Amino acid sequence: MTPGLDLASEDDRESALDEVLSFSRRFGEDTVSLCMHAAVPLGLTPELLHLIRHNFLHSLPRVAESDLLLSPLCRDVGGGFFQMRSSIRELLIFELRNDAEFGKTRLESIAALMLGFVDQQWTVKCDREFRSFLLAQRWTALAYIDPAEAARQLASALATDLQSPGDEIVAVAEIAQELSEPLQSQEDIVIYSAGISELRQGRTALAARFFDTLSSKSKPLIVGDVVLPAPQTLMKHSSSAESDGGQQKWADMSDISDALQDLESAFGDEPALQCELLEKSDSGKPIGHHGSFSVVFKARHADGRLITLRFFTHQRNELPERYKRITRHFNEVSRPDGLVDFQFLEQGLRLADGRRSPVMVLDWVEGKTLDRWLLSQFETTAGSEACTLMAERWRRLMGDLREKQIAHGDLQPMNIIVTPESELKLIDYDSMYVPSLEGLPTVERGVDQYQHPERDRHTTLSLEIDNFSAILIYLLILASEFDPIDLPALESTRLFLPDGEAPPPKTVEHSSIIRKLASSSSPAIASMVALLKRYHDGPIKAVPSLEGFIAFEWDEPDGGAERFRSRVMSQTNETTLGDALRQLESIHGVSIESSAKESKAVISEQFTGVELDTAIRILLGSTKHQASVNGVSVSLRGGNKIDLAQPVAILSDIHGNLEALDAVLTDIRARGIQQICCLGDSVGVGPNPGECIAVAMTFDAHVLGDFEQGTLFDPDGFDPICRQATFWTRAMMENEQVETTLQHSRWDFFGEMPRKLSFGDILFVHASPRDPTNEYVWPEDIYNQRKVERCFQTTKRICFMGHTGIPGIFTEELEYRSPEEVEYEYSLGPGKHLINVGSVGKPRDGDPRASYVILNGNHLTFRRIEYDLERTAAKIERTPELSDELAVELRRGAGRPGEGDDLQRSSEDQRSSEDQRSSEDLSSSELAKKKLDEMFRRNRPTDKGHSGPDWGTNDTRPIED
């Protein structure tokens, strides 16, 4: 252990030992072996833990994985990630290294597996938080296999992050310190990291103590081919930046916490700070909410107002002057209603050692952040109206700011609060623009997903800095009218990049939020996103204001949706749907189909106050609007209706398998069932797409699957085999010798499929309740609490789905039950359930028989049907455009996980610019392969009969959430 870096105290070690012994008594010594193996990575996901058990301790039951993740040995840190406490990791790794059966060789084998896992997943998942997790695992694995290379990569990351003011460098430094034991031969980088961490957090004296132990403080530290600044230079720069009359101005978290124990001493007689803190721990310590540069506390002022106290934890010496100019501008133009009142007190906080530190006092804003508000609206019957009205409020707020020459500078959902009165309030003004700040650099770059790709730390402040973000957020609000959008799952965080690897190019294809918007079930939203894409890929200066974007003439009749909107909105903000439809008819002479007229009358009787945008989109055909009227689905085209008082057969994923479909329909008829609902993918990878479509058109209801979407538009994200099958299906549909009207009706059938259907409290989708077309919900996702909980949040009571080809039942208690476990019969109780009906034409649960479900009241029956599988397989093998591998998978009832997934890229897509790795990555890949081959030859796990790593059932499945 590097001197001065003993991460665990004696008390910590004793506590860790007690916790491990307690775990052993509860779950057995064999499961402790899994703990020892799982301690090698710095962090865990359910998928990584599964691979470790699958490859090294295969005889352990799978439940051992959940036993570990849900035990006190691991803590859930959010986003599907888990961590062990340092003292527990240290103890378990010590035991693994000294175990007679495992030893150092097993530790290195696990590290080699981790490198393989990182190399494989790097091309699958683009989410930045996940990439940061993967980098930590790469550095950890290299620390055990090649310490010199691990030290070089850590040094490279430190060198890059020394140029930025954020917390990234602290995180990298903490990883280096956590790896001090395997990096004993590279102790200089560990000590240097510890010094940087203390220095960046304002603890200069502690930083100096670490730097003093280096061989030279005056010379740069050279690690491989990376040159790091001399510690003396860092200390000098820090002293210059922090000093003000010889005193450090900026407090760290411990300074602030200590000072707030005595508010009278901390705040003195400052009138704005006469308050009491409202949130405290059981021990009486104030509870703060942390951000990248600051921490905030909720307080009550002496006059009874709720206020926010914001303390800065990083050097931000430019802020006082900026806030003075912002305050001066607010006084000149009158503060817009969407901004909260504040005071910036440069000397507001008195620390225990007498130093002074800035405090920002703001009015407390009660409400939800925009991301939480949007998700909650999808679950309410008024959500559609509320979202369109909120989009209009956002438009007015952006117009008000622009009129008063103000730009926020960091627009993102976490900085937007929706009050209980549905008002919008913006918070966090560090990057704000007012005219007197024109041309100064931005303090923050903002969250990448909400910024134009040219926005960086060198971008200067201007009135146009919010344009791209304002448009994107406007579209997010509008799109949430049609589909739930789980923003936290789509957002990305800052990424730690190794030397030589440029940040991934910010193309539209790699912006998960824009991809999500582009897949909206509203073609109107999709058309607006197409324009946003052009602005995204063009120069930042070309992006118009939100008002300019909305004024763009869309492909509506007469280009007049905006003119109609302005004409009616000048009279009133709201009108009934019937009135809006009548006005639109009179203005544009638009002809309405009789079915639409009939439905219009029904909807008009049930709904009032529907915002005009909805009416415009309905009538102009921009969306196939589905409404739920008294628990019954009403469609403007009159289809997709089911009477849930009668039995209904629910099937999915026919995949052009006519033999399987015929067998299922025979079974349905034999049981006297009159209603059929299909959950998508009537076509896909089977040999009879045309015939299956013709049958599917007779069903009572049919939702859109990813293969219908891929056939209709483009199979983006499909693997090569599925992509080729989709192109062949499209060609078959276009060239089939049938009447033109029939051919057109088939394409219309695809184009009119809704992404979801709702009948009362029962939802029907292809994939998942929060992403109806694309997201996979696998049985093992019960270990991914965040993901499953969010699926249930967007489900009123019951959701039927397909997509995975694995039938089963998910409960709110995070339990999964297969049809075999419930003996193919299940009664739905009052709680929420997700029901996967399996696949008719391509099962993937190891049983090649066709699968479907019968819903009769609250009772479910899972059916498995034999069919002439060999006939279908022979057709596939006779069709050159369909891979023979599809026939092999059909026979064994299994497919490649991730098939057709929008995150599962083809080999060509995997070579896209974002996933091109530097020579460093390639060397890591080669090292992983070499080590894997070598170590599994010499240290073959005793309970597995293979000579290389087995990726099990997770080999290409992306890690979600």
Over the stretch 825-871, which tens digit does the pLDDT of each residue have?
A: 999 988 999 999 999 999 999 899 999 999 999 999 999 999 999 99
Q: Of the given ranges (160-169, 591-600, 726-735), which has the lowest mean pLDDT?
A: 591-600
- The four Cα atoms 309, 313, 314, 317 give a dihedral, to 10 degrees, of 40
Q: What percent of the chain has pLDDT over 90?
A: 29
Which pLDDT belongs to residue 552? Answer: 54
Which pLDDT belongs to residue 309? Answer: 93
- The four Cα atoms 50, 72, 783, 516 give a dihedral, to 10 degrees, of -110
* Greatest extent of the chain over all pairs of C-alpha atoms, in Å: 90
Give the count of beta carbons closer than 10 Å to the beta carbon of residue 599.
Answer: 21
Edge to edge, what strands does the sheet with 648-651 contain? 701-702, 675-678, 648-651, 850-856, 859-865, 825-827
Which pLDDT belongs to residue 602? Answer: 37
Which pLDDT belongs to residue 627? Answer: 32
Q: Are 496 and 135 in contact (CB under 8 A)?
A: yes
Calpha distance 41→38 (Å, rounded) = 6
Listed residue (833, 566, 783, 919) closest to 81, CA to CA = 783
Return the percent helix, strand and coil in the chain, to nearest 5: 45, 15, 40
Three-state secondary-structure class, residue 943: coil
Residue type, 501: E
Which pLDDT belongs to residue 380? Answer: 55
Which pLDDT belongs to residue 701? Answer: 92
Q: Are 286 and 295 in contact (CB under 8 A)?
A: no
Which band of pLDDT confidence, cut at 50, 70 and 90, is reported for residue 401? Answer: very high
Kindly list the distances between the CA atom of residue 274 and the CA atoms of 302, 350, 360, in Å, as whole numbers in the listed order. Answer: 6, 14, 13
- Select the more confidently predicted residue: 273 or 714: 273
- pTM for the predicted model, two decimal places: 0.42
Which pLDDT belongs to residue 164? Answer: 56
Which pLDDT belongs to residue 637? Answer: 32
Best mean pLDDT range from 44-53, 460-469, 711-720, 859-868? 859-868
Over the stretch 105-129, which tens digit does the pLDDT of each residue have?
A: 999 999 999 988 887 776 544 456 6
- Select the more confidently predicted residue: 485 or 741: 485
Calpha distance 848→867 (Å, rounded) = 9
Which pLDDT belongs to residue 159? Answer: 81
Beta bridge partners of 826: 860
Calpha distance 827→834 (Å, rounded) = 13
Which pLDDT belongs to residue 331? Answer: 84
DSSP letter at 611 equals: B
Which pLDDT belongs to residue 384? Answer: 57
Which pLDDT belongs to residue 217? Answer: 66
- Domains in the chain (CATH in brackets) are 10-238 (no CATH), 253-363 (3.30.200.20), 368-561 (1.10.510.10), 648-892 (3.60.21.10)
Mean per-residue pLDDT, 412-425: 91
Task: State the residue for tokens 């500078």.
Answer: 409
Listed residue (484, 4, 438) closest to 212, CA to CA = 4
Over the stretch 255-287, which tens digit does the pLDDT of each residue have?
A: 788 888 889 889 988 899 999 999 887 667 788
Which pLDDT belongs to residue 510? Answer: 47
Mean per-residue pLDDT, 432-444: 86
Reading the block at residue 628, the tokens are: 């739920």
Which pLDDT belongs to residue 378? Answer: 61
Which band of pLDDT confidence, cut at 50, 70 and 90, is reported for residue 400? Answer: very high
Which band of pLDDT confidence, cut at 50, 70 and 90, is reported for residue 673? Answer: very high
Calpha distance 701→632 (Å, rounded) = 13
Beta strand 424-426 pairing with 416-418: antiparallel
Task: State the residue for tokens 């000072």.
Answer: 259
Tell me whether residue 262 is exposed, middle or buried, using C-beta atoms within 10 angstroms of its C-beta: 0 to 12, 13 to 18, 19 or more.
exposed
Which pLDDT belongs to residue 306? Answer: 93
- Select the more confidently predicted residue: 821 or 79: 821
Mean per-residue pLDDT, 280-297: 76
Which pLDDT belongs to residue 166? Answer: 52
Reading the block at residue 671, the tokens are: 């049981």
Which pLDDT belongs to residue 952? Answer: 46
Listed residue (500, 900, 930, 889) closest to 717, CA to CA = 900
Q: Is the pLDDT of residue 335 over 70?
A: yes
Listed residue (135, 130, 122, 109) closest to 45, CA to CA = 130
Q: Is the pLDDT of residue 344 over 60?
A: yes
- Select the more confidently predicted residue: 464 or 486: 464
Over the stretch 624-658, which tens digit does the pLDDT of each residue have?
A: 333 332 232 323 233 578 889 999 999 999 999 99
Q: Is the pLDDT of residue 243 over 60?
A: no
Per the prediction, the chain carries an average pLDDT of 76
Calpha distance 341→26 (Å, rounded) = 55
Calpha distance 305→286 (Å, rounded) = 19
Q: Is the pLDDT of residue 232 over 80?
A: no
Residue type, 878: R
DSSP letter for each residue of 794-807:
T-SSEEEE-SSS--
* DSSP H helical ranges for 379-497: 383-403, 467-479, 487-490
Which pLDDT belongs to residue 611? Answer: 37
Calpha distance 586→591 (Å, rounded) = 10
Over the stretch 348-385, which tens digit does the pLDDT of each residue have?
A: 888 887 788 889 999 998 898 898 888 777 655 444 56
Which pLDDT belongs to residue 737? Answer: 55
Listed residue (562, 611, 577) closest to 390, CA to CA = 611
Which pLDDT belongs to residue 915? Answer: 32
Backbone angles phi, psi at 740, to 5 degrees: -60, -40
Give the chain's length. 961
Three-state secondary-structure class, residue 363: strand
Which pLDDT belongs to residue 841? Answer: 95
Q: Which residues contact 920 (CB under 8 A, 6 or more apart)?
A: 153, 498, 499, 500, 501
Q: What percent of the chain has pLDDT over 70?
A: 73
Over the stretch 915-947, which tens digit does the pLDDT of each residue have?
A: 333 333 334 434 444 444 443 333 333 333 333
Listed residue (428, 419, 424) closest to 400, CA to CA = 424
Per the rule left: phi > 0, alpha: psi between -120 and 50, beta: everything else, 245 is: left
DSSP letter for each residue of 903-916:
T---TTGGGSTTT-
